[in-house]
């Protein structure tokens, strides 16, 4: 008889990058996965069996962030080359270059209506851009050191940012003012994101800590009732699944050889990806997230494999419990070939030597020179890679906010 609780399982093993994978994101249509790397390339993986993958070449330095637009028809990447690129994930290989900052760009994120783009940079600023008009809108400038990450709230009224100044800042997008600053960090604040309702933010730090802040009370909280699970990647080469409601570690997943730099959920939450220094992208099936939560707790209480607890000092159970679920450690051998298909054929689209047509920026001001249109080779008889529009879905998880269709 099948178990009530299904363990997470390795779904796909994607090879194509030549250096460490720094960022990943799923397309809203659930058919593609994007990954950026220290090899300066963007990979678009078609998740259908035996489908071709596309390698986009254009950035001159490490790609630090990647994000699909809500409609899935654009992919934004940030890079240490100080630029942001907007790619059309098709075989034509079109992209727009935004000379965004005066230093490395650490992250890029679309707003949930697809109208705005937020970028975070080592020049200590967060910048906001208009996607339809392809122009700079305004800067947020109160960080005193490198800004590592910036994310929109689900209603786009707020932006959360964090950085090497050991702060997490909350910005009002109407007034352009910093309305709150959280400073409870022993090291750099490296990543931040909103929960689906926009009432809380989760942040991680270089001190190996995870923190959840309630924006209604401006305090650290023990749990968030709308979300049960959080997934994290670590320099110890593992991916960990945490139960936020109970304040416990549930799973430790092994599969990478070296630090894990990025984790990302699909919009539906049934898949998640991880990428790391071993240049691999692993796609996992959640499995347990489809089961009733009480069934998860009941089944998990009988497990006997113990894993040392992670540093989660700011997340505690609400009260003593009769059952104490023990985490499960899952070992995946990276050398095992993809069980569904062989390594995909990779089509390389080089944009470093394309003809360039400059377009004048409309409105706004800033130190960027605006976007440049770049067009790749003609499609010929190669297949067209076309994402489709999807509707909004409620997502009960962290590290990937809910997305609305354009």
- How far is residue 133's CA from residue 232's CA, in Å, rounded to a whole number? 35
- How far is residue 107's CA from residue 120's CA, in Å, rounded to a whole number? 5
| Most confidently predicted of 86-90, 355-359, 390-394 | 86-90
Identify the pLDDT of residue 202.
86
Q: Of 157, 154, 179, 155, whose CA–CA distance to 168 is shortest?
A: 179
139 or 399, higher pLDDT? 139
374 or 8, higher pLDDT? 8
Q: What is the pTM of this model?
A: 0.71
Identify the pLDDT of residue 204.
83
Average pLDDT, the chain: 73
Question: 155-198 pLDDT, tens per residue?
Answer: 999 999 999 999 999 999 999 999 999 886 677 888 999 988 88
Tokens 């940079």 identify what position?
A: 121
* The pLDDT of residue 243 is above 90: no
- How far is residue 221's CA from residue 85's CA, in Å, rounded to a whole number? 37
- How far is residue 263's CA from residue 200's CA, in Å, rounded to a whole number? 20
Burial of 391 (0-12, 13-18, 19+ CB in 10 A): exposed
* The pLDDT of residue 37 is above 90: yes
| Most confidently predicted of 96-105, 222-231, 340-349 | 96-105
Identify the pLDDT of residue 404.
29
Average pLDDT over residues 96-105: 92
- The domain limits of the chain are 9-374
- How far is residue 375's CA from residue 95's CA, in Å, rounded to a whole number? 7
Average pLDDT over residues 41-51: 87
CATH superfamily, region 9-374:
YVTN repeat-like/Quinoprotein amine dehydrogenase (2.130.10.10)
Helices (H), 143-292: none
* The pLDDT of residue 341 is above 70: no
Residue 246 tokens, joined: 């109970």
Q: Is 290 helix (H, G, I), strand (E, B) or coil?
A: helix
Q: Do residues 262 and 235 touch, judged by C-beta distance below 8 A? A: no
Q: Is 174 helix (H, G, I), strand (E, B) or coil?
A: coil
Left (φ > 0), alpha (ψ -120 to 50) or beta: where does 290 sit? alpha
């Amino acid at each position: 008889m099948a178990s009530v609780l299904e363990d997470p399982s390795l779904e796909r093993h994607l090879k194509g990058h030549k250096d460490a994978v720094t960022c990943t994101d799923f397309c809203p249509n659930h058919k593609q996965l994007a990954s950026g790397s220290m090899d300066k390339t963007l990979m678009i993986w078609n998740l259908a069996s035996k489908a071709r993958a596309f390698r986009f070449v254009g950035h001159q330095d490490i790609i630090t962030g990647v994000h699909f637009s809500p409609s899935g028809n654009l992919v934004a990447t940030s890079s240490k080359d100080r630029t942001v690129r907007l790619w059309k994930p098709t075989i034509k290989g079109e992209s727009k270059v935004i000379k965004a900052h005066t230093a490395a760009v650490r992250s890029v994120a679309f707003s949930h209506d697809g109208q705005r783009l937020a970028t975070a940079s080592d020049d200590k600023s967060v910048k906001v851009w208009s996607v339809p008009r392809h122009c700079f809108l305004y800067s947020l400038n109160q960080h005193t050191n490198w800004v590592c990450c910036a994310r929109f709230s689900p209603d786009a009224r707020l932006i959360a940012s964090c950085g090497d100044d050991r702060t997490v800042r909350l910005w009002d997008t109407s007034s352009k003012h910093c309305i709150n600053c959280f400073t409870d960090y022993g090291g750099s604040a490296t990543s931040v994101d909103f929960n689906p309702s926009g009432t809380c933010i989760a942040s991680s730090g270089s001190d190996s800590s995870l923190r959840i802040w309630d924006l209604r009370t401006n305090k650290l909280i023990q749990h968030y009732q709308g979300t049960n699970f959080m997934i994290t990647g670590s320099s110890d080469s593992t991916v960990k699944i945490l139960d936020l409601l109970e304040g416990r570690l549930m799973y430790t997943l092994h599969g990478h050889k070296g630090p894990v730099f990025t984790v990302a959920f699909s919009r539906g939450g049934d898949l998640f990806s991880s990428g790391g220094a071993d240049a691999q992208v692993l796609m996992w099936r959640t499995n347990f997230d489809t089961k009733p939560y009480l069934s998860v707790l009941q089944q998990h209480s009988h497990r006997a494999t113990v894993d040392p607890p992670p540093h989660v000092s700011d997340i505690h159970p609400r009260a003593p419990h009769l059952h104490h679920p023990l985490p499960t450690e899952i070992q995946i051998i990276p050398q095992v070939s993809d069980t569904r298909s062989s390594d995909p054929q990779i089509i390389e689209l080089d944009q470093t030597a394309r003809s360039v047509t400059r377009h004048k920026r409309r409105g706004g001001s800033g130190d960027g020179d605006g976007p440049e249109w770049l067009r790749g080779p003609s499609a010929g008889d190669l297949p067209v890679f076309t994402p489709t529009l999807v509707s909004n879905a409620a997502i009960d998880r962290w590290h990937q906010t809910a997305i609305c269709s354009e």
